[in-house]
Structure 1
């Protein structure tokens, strides 16, 4: 997702363009991995040391609910990343060390649905966790 697309979604949902939102979205747009609220806070602290976790979490949650950010849980903590391949169904391999992601275009539900005759699947989530080549062979 581009920054322009993110702002269109926010403005279409009656959210104002604030400096905090700009900083958060710009930070995510330059990353190809999942990030924690703490990483966002550390990034923002240089220019705004008083920014609260409430402000950060509120914005991250809003962005996630609007489909601007994707969300997952790693080690009991929420992680976020900019929505990728918007509108194209896919899954991710997520590095447990650095958070880098790699898209997995094949969906396992295609084969699993054969084992569920008579059932209607309303949604699913599939993620693969491990170490990327950079973290595995430093």
Structure 2
């Protein structure tokens, strides 16, 4: 999803695309991988003196709820990234820097037979480790 698509989605859902909300979108559009609320607040403090964690979490929750951001949990902390809506894929996530690499393989094809009598409503598959840059360091 790009910034223009995200703004259109916000407006379609009845939300205003304020300057702060656009800055949040810009941050995630430029981010390489998952980022924390703390990362975002550090970025926004340069432009918005006194911005609160409540404001950050409200917007992160809103963006997750409408499908702009996707989230995961790593080491007990929730992380966010711009939603990848163009095709189905999964991620390798670096435990050190949070960078992601798309994985085109989906294990669901192997799992469906084992869950033949179940109604599957969704799934998430992530692999964690160190990216080549962090592995060298």
Scaled by the length of structure 2, what TM-score is found? 0.95
Shift of 1:49: 2.1
What CA deviation, in whole Å up to 9, does each residue of 1:24-74 have, x standing for no partner?
111111112100000000001111121011111110111111111110011
State the distance in 2 between where 1:120 and 1:132 align: 35
Q: How does 1:1-138 map to 2 (within 5 A)?
A: 1-84=1-84, 86-138=85-137
Secondary structure of the structure 2 residue equivalent to 1:62: helix
Superposed structure 1 runs of 4+ greater than 4 Å apart? none
Q: Which runs of 5+ in 1 are unaligned?
A: none
Q: State the Cα RMSD in Å.
A: 1.0
Secondary structure of the structure 2 residue equivalent to 1:29: helix
Q: Which runs of 5+ in 2 are unaligned?
A: none
